[in-house]
Amino acid sequence: MSFRRIWHLFMIDVRLLFRRWVWVMLLLALVLLVLSFGMGWLRSLFPTDIQATLYLGLDMFLLGGMWCFLSSLAFSDLHTQGEGFYLLLPASSLEKFVSKLLGSLVVYPLMGFVVLFFYSLVIMLIVYYLTGTLIPVFFPFYGWLWQWYLFFFVLQAWFFWGSVRFSHFAFVKTMLLLFGMSFLLSFLSTPVLQFLFGTVVSWNGIVLYSTRGIVPPALARDIFDFLLWLGRVLFFLSAGLAYGMAYRHFVRYEVTHGV
């Protein structure tokens, strides 16, 4: 595996996807502009101590969505005849795959951090000039950014897989698939958790309905924490599954197209 070839492949990707990147950035800028003014007008409805959280939370949610969307375009050139020459480039399957991975794992989030920082600074000046109110500026040095990165790292891994698996509307199809899987998992796990720990329905501090689970109350907290930890571990491991499936689909795609 040659890192020089990987870099050249990545630069080819930059040229192929540059126009799409620009459109995504412009759309993100427009949405952030509308949200910034909307939050400026609605800030009186929220306590002062959570206004910054709401601003930054919306920014990071949109940035994560942009990351997932760009990852869903990673292998779009496989399904387009005009750009299908990518399969014929003199490089191994692993080198081509890693070059795509470089953009999805490193370049997209870093590019998003830089763009969001400068954009939020400009928006802060515009909103202050027009309304006289100050809004928070995004700084890419917050400690919780690692938690954000790890969460969207798993999500975008599945959109990365979807870019290989689906030839059209990969972003929409992957999103519907993830939503359906989340709903099914919640639907199946709720009766199990109720069976183990029981259920409590309350309103306004008054218990309306409750049942007891089979787990003794003294052990319930420890077992629940273990299941929560196990769920987080499986959630992060699913990213490896998504990348493995993506690579397998990519290799199979090359074989079926005689490369």
pLDDT value at residue 23: 76
Rounded CA-CA distance 105/149 in Å is: 10
Predicted pLDDT of residue 93: 77
Question: What's the confidence (pLDDT) of residue 114?
Answer: 81
The confidence score (pLDDT) of residue 158 equals: 92
Predicted local confidence at residue 176, as pLDDT: 92
Alpha helix (H) residue ranges in 88-169: 93-102, 108-131, 145-165
The confidence score (pLDDT) of residue 211 equals 67
Three-class HEC string of 156-214: HHHHHHHHHHCCCCHHHHHHHHHHHHHHHHHHHHHHHHHHHHEEEEEECCEEEEEEECC
Alpha-carbon distance of 61 to 147, in angstroms, equals 13
Q: How far apart are CA 145 and CA 109, in angstroms?
A: 11
| Cα–Cα distance, 64 to 245 (Å, whole number) | 22
| Cα–Cα dist 22/220, whole Å | 51
Q: Are the CB atoms for 136 and 143 separated by under 8 Å?
A: no
SS3 (DSSP) at 143: coil
Q: What is the model's pTM?
A: 0.78
Q: What angle do CA 243, 87, 74 make, to 5 degrees?
A: 40
* 8 Å CB contact between 121 and 137: yes
Residue 109's Cβ-count burial label (10 Å; 0-12, 13-18, 19+) is buried
Per-residue pLDDT of the chain (259 residues; tens, 9 = 90+): 777 777 777 777 777 776 777 777 777 777 766 766 666 555 555 555 555 566 666 777 778 888 888 888 888 777 665 555 666 666 677 888 888 888 888 888 887 788 778 877 877 787 777 766 666 677 766 667 788 888 888 999 999 999 888 878 888 899 999 889 888 888 887 777 777 766 766 666 665 566 676 777 777 777 778 888 888 899 899 999 999 998 888 888 777 765 5
Dist. CA 158–CA 154, nearest whole Å: 7
Phi, psi for 200 (deg, rounded to 5): -135, 125
Q: How many CB atoms lie within 10 A of CB 37?
A: 17
Where in the chain are the domains?
3-256
d(CA 152, CA 129): 34
